[in-house]
Structure 1
Amino acid sequence: MGREYRYKEKNYDNSHECEECMEHEKKEYGKKEHENKCKGCICDQLRKLQPGTEVDLFLSNGARIEDVVFVAFNDKNCCAFFTGLENEPPGSTLIVDCKRIDAINIEGREC
């Protein structure tokens, strides 16, 4: 019983250090997950794309969305925001995961 008590006491004494280590590991894991989450050509292009740029989107499911205006890209969750959808009420926003976009036609831009 004495050993059990010392074991619990040791765990108790080190619990603060363990909590700090666990928090540090969570943060590091989150960074690694974030770093790897939004990879790929399209995600990279969206990071650099200027808001207000008109584009056509070619989605992974074969859908094509034409003449939408790029609003923003959230690098934390890979969401790209677009407006200007045909047949939708003014102010409607299209949100697309950058990993689900196969190609982008950036209108009026020459390489």
Structure 2
Amino acid sequence: MEFVRIVSVGAVVFLTVSPAAFAEQAHTGTITEINRLNNTIAIRPTQDGTVGANANGPSDQFKAGSGVSMDAWHAGDRVSYSASGNEGAKTITKIERVRPGVQQ
């Protein structure tokens, strides 16, 4: 009975923590649009793999989180970023320029 309780508690902890951990994962992409009036940025994620990868895929829209300045960014910049939130309200929590020639 003790084993079942330990497994149950472990499963609950995993399901509670894992979405937050995956949401903060670093991604790479290219900035396609910046709206400084609305404090939003559109980033087209870098495709994984090579077979069937389409460079013209859809861009994701994000709000800039507190402490994230949009002054240094321009359309076409390659970036590494972390975001939080669900499908309806995504927020950039960290953004960095990807140096040319550096594989992520």
Under a length normalisation based on structure 2, what TM-score does the superposition of the two structures give? 0.31
TM-score (norm. length: structure 1): 0.30
Rg comparison, structure with higher value? 1
Structure with the bigger percentage of helix: 1
